[in-house]
Structure formats: structure tokens, C-alpha cells
Amino acid sequence: MVVLPKMALIGSRGCLASSIRRYYQDSYSIQVFGQEQYDIRDRNIVDQLSKQIVNSDVIINCAGLLGPDPWDELLVNAVAPIYLLTKLSESHCRSRFIQIGSHSAMWTSWPGVEIDRLCYNVSKQCMQSAITGLSHSGKTNMLLTIINPSKFKSDMSNWDGYEVTAVIEYIDFVINSKNPPVLLEMEAISARLGNTT
């Protein structure tokens, strides 16, 4: 009997999470931690979650929130995943941890930016700093990577942008890399298509 490696997938509602599930369903034993049972805005839930996923081979955090409540945006996009990383590090977790970030971490503001968008961008920038900082600290046994997609087809982007399979390609690259990069920045669709305008 073949024993499949274990994958923990945090977040279940979005297009990316369901696509990851379908893509890896035959090569991983996947446990999904969706908001219905695992609302990561609750610190006690994150404590429980860390204990349940500590022995996973791969952990992918797809949970994310854009508007309308800045408090929840900051909790879901930054506070909870950073806290989760600290609990996993304390437990000597040895997983590959892949955080799905956002290209918006590269710039947080512009004239007229909406407050909920500003908070979203700042939360993603904070998460990027936490991943790179923890990786460089030497205080974790995990292999950490943050992938920052630009706009891809999902309900968050009104189904505009590149195909979700492009994000899966980056995830697959990280999973199969002996020494995965800490940060992978996905360029915009115009750059992917070679548009120089």
C-alpha cells in the first residue's frame, strides 16, 4: 500500500484552494482547513490548527480576505498566519510552508486608494516581511516560501487576469525544489505575455 505524503491546505472557499485540491488529489493525502470549522481570526483555533498540521509534509495557506472590515483583513492576512508560523516553529515543524501572498505587497498605496485596499496591501506586505524574516532568522526548521501572484482569474479579481494554473505551476515548482526560494514574485499578465507597453 502506497502512503501518500500529507498536505495541509488552509482555506477552502476560493478558486485557488479548490484548484490545488484537484491538482494534488492523486499525489497527496490532503486535509482541508476551511473557515467554516477553522476560523483563523480566533487565536484558539490557530493553536488547534498548528497541532493538527505540524506533521504535514506540505502546508499551503490560501486563506485571504479583501474588505470590507480592516480588522478582519489584518487578522486573516497577517496576524493569524504569522502566529501560526511561530507555533509551528516552536513545535519544530519540518514542513514546506507555502504562503500565498499578493503582488500588492510590492506597493501599498497610491493617490485615492480605498482604506480597505490599503489595509489589504499592508497586511500582505507584513506577511511577506514575516516569511522572509523568519526564514533568515534560522529559528525554524520549515522551508518557507511566499508566492505573490498578480491578478489571476478568481472571484476576488472578477475573473480577470491569468489562469489559476499559472499559480499552481509556481506552487509545484516550490514543492519539487530541493532549495525553494523564499520569495516568488509573479509578474502581471501583460509581462507574462511579453507586452512591453
Q: What is the pLDDT of residue 29?
A: 98
Buried-state track 112-123, b at ≥16 Cβ within 10 A, e below 16: eeeebbbbbbbb
Q: What is the pLDDT of residue 195?
A: 44
Structural domain boundaries in the chain: 6-189
Fold of 6-189: Rossmann fold (3.40.50)
Query: For residue range 82-128, what is the model confidence (pLDDT) as tens digits?
Result: 999 999 999 999 999 999 999 989 889 999 999 989 999 999 999 99
Average model confidence (pLDDT) across the chain: 91
What letter does residue 29 receive in the DSSP assignment?
Answer: E
